[in-house]
Amino acid sequence: MSDEKVGPVDVIFICDRSGSMCGKGIESLKSALQLFLRQLPTDSTFDIISFGSQFDSLFSGLKKYDETSFDFASKAVENFESNYGGTNILEPLKSAMAQKSQIILLTDGQVRQNKKIEILKYLEDNRGKAIVHCIGLGNGVDSDLIKDIGNVGGGISVVVRDTKNLRRELSKITNKVLLPAIKNGKVTLTTGVFEDGKSEEVVGIFNKETFAFFDTTSDSKVEGTLTGNVGEKKVTLTSTEKVRIKDTILGQFKAFEKLKVLESKEEKEKCVKLSLKYNVLSKYTTFVAIDKSTKVETDSVKQVDISQIEHNQSKPTIIRGAYEFVPPTRSSRYKPERERGKKDVDDTDKNEYKYNQLINKQKFDGRFENVISIFDEFEPIQKKFVNEKVDTQCVTTAIAIVILRKYYADREVEWALLEEKAMKYLAQFGYGEELVNKIIEETKS
């Protein structure tokens, strides 16, 4: 698939504003939403649904992304509070699914098991109507629920334990939403049928993401075909590899994938049957290993010196489109960094504040306004280019790009889409990278 952005998209952001989101949770949500609003391409349609015990939306349906809707949404997000009571995910999810758009769901809560089953059953029954991405926020979130929603909803799921990482992880999902993807996919066989039927539906296959499909059939000469849509274009991909695997390994892969869905819906009987058939462990089954070679049984316990075991930093746990950031454990060789003083903390907070202010200075069409009020050191450079008859808004926009590259290079995944929109804005007036580079040179003098 192409790396070119697909252009306008239809997307609904469902955000948890229950009482548990108070403090850092709601503040990180607000800053993430402000960034999200600026990442959308012009002429897209969007809506933001807030939920708790009840739910409401900014526009009561998908709204065209223009200057008016952008300004309204941005001002509304500024005033968001965590005052919506409990956590009722299903009803806002139904409302969003009915509009057949891509959905990004964010929550920090847990739901009762019976409600969890209802959510996943609804997603399973309505597969293909929308792609649902899911973000879990904080240490108290039900990570299994987040991963199950992403898996059944055909989207990406991520658990973000530290609220400071929310914008980064949301930006990764937004990038996926904007790239071409195969939607309404279906895998069929040229001859014969799959074990479970004639075809298997595939909700979404995203650009630059590995996709694996497993199924079983009795026909050894069969070929599989994937059909779907990339935007308005229909695509067909047929397998050309003739490698035949006669063992049970592919069936076990298939069973593993299906067990995740069955377990999330607590379909115990089906889980046990599938687990025993393919010898794949589930939460309802246990395998017992018997060692027939040991001649003498012993009750002795081996002693292990734990102090000699060095713990390494844990890596992100990857689960088919779902991932979770786990805090690193300290090894026995860990040496603490010097304690940060008040000045260090103040500088970090000030830097974060200025970054947030800069992001919020971008308008819906990509231009930046009044950047000098935050970074006054660029005022002489702005005056120089304006005096040379360069449009003021173009100079300001180019300066914003320079600031992002110069001071916030480590956060490029967050502002890359903002820069892309800003460059398109400059291009309308005949400016671009040349103007940005001239400003960079001025900062060196």
Give a yes or no: residue 268 inside a domain: yes
Judged against a pLDDT cut of 50, whether residue 295 lies above it is answered with: yes
Give a yes or no: residue 403 inside a domain: yes
Give a yes or no: residue 14 inside a domain: yes
Domain C-terminal end among 151, 178, 205: 178
Judged against a pLDDT cut of 50, whether residue 48 lies above it is answered with: yes
Find the mean pLDDT for residues 367-377.
96
The pLDDT-based confidence of 320 (bands split at 50, 70, 90) is very low
Give pTM, 2 decimals: 0.75
Q: Same domain for 68 and 109?
A: yes
Looking at 306-320, 362-376, 399-413, which range is the least confident one?
306-320
What average pLDDT does the chain have? 83
Judged against a pLDDT cut of 80, whether residue 391 lies above it is answered with: yes
Domain C-terminal end among 191, 213, 241: 241
**Tens of pLDDT along 79-98?**
999 999 999 999 999 999 99
Looking at 71-75, 163-167, 314-318, 402-406, which range is the least confident one?
314-318
Find the mean pLDDT for residues 372-381.
96
Give a yes or no: residue 326 inside a domain: no
pLDDT of the residue at 328 = 43
Range from 3-7, 59-63, 262-266, 338-342 that averages highest in pLDDT:
59-63
- Percentage of the residues of the chain whose pLDDT score is greater than 70: 76
Q: What is the 3-state secondary structure (H, E, C) of the chain?
A: CCCCCCCCCEEEEEEECCHHHCCHHHHHHHHHHHHHHHHCCCCCEEEEEEECCCEEECCCCCEECCHHHHHHHHHHHHCCCCCCCCCCCHHHHHHHHCCCCEEEEEECCCCCHHHHHHHHHHHHHCCCCCEEEEEEECCCCCHHHHHHHHHHCEEEEEEECCHHHHHHHHHHHHHHHHCCEEEEEEEEECCCCECCECEEEEEEEECCCCCCCCCCCCCCCCCEEEEEEECCEEEEEECCCCCCCCCCHHHHHHHHHHHHHHHHCCCHHHHHHHHHHHCCCCCCCCCCCCCCCCCCCCCCCCCCCHHHCCCCCCCCEEECCEEECCCCCCCCCCCCCCCCCHHHHHHHHHHHHHHHHHHHCECCCCCECCHHHCCHHHHHHHHHHHHCCCCHHHHHHHHHHHHHHHHCHHHHHHHHHHHHHHHHHHHCCCCCHHHHHHHHHHHHC
Q: Same domain for 78 and 215?
A: no
Give a yes or no: residue 321 inside a domain: no
More confident site: 206 or 167: 167
Give a yes or no: residue 352 inside a domain: yes
Find the mean pLDDT for residues 386-403.
97
Q: Same domain for 113 and 167?
A: yes
The pLDDT-based confidence of 178 (bands split at 50, 70, 90) is confident
Give a yes or no: residue 313 inside a domain: no
Q: Same domain for 169 and 24?
A: yes
- Residue 91 domain boundaries: 10-178
Q: Same domain for 187 and 173?
A: no
Find the mean pLDDT for residues 294-317.
54
Looking at 10-24, 127-141, 243-257, 426-440, which range is the least confident one?
243-257
Q: Same domain for 117 and 234?
A: no
Judged against a pLDDT cut of 90, whether residue 226 lies above it is answered with: no
Q: Same domain for 259 and 372?
A: no
Question: Structural domain tally of the chain?
Answer: 4
Q: Same domain for 144 and 54?
A: yes
Domain C-terminal end among 233, 262, 278: 278
Give a yes or no: residue 369 inside a domain: yes
pLDDT of the residue at 79 = 95
pLDDT of the residue at 309 = 44
Q: Same domain for 14 and 159?
A: yes
Q: Same domain for 272 and 417?
A: no
Q: Same domain for 230 and 147?
A: no
Q: Same domain for 70 and 56?
A: yes
Find the mean pLDDT for residues 320-333.
44
pLDDT of the residue at 311 = 42
Judged against a pLDDT cut of 60, whether residue 237 lies above it is answered with: yes
Find the mean pLDDT for residues 235-240.
75
More confident site: 106 or 194: 106
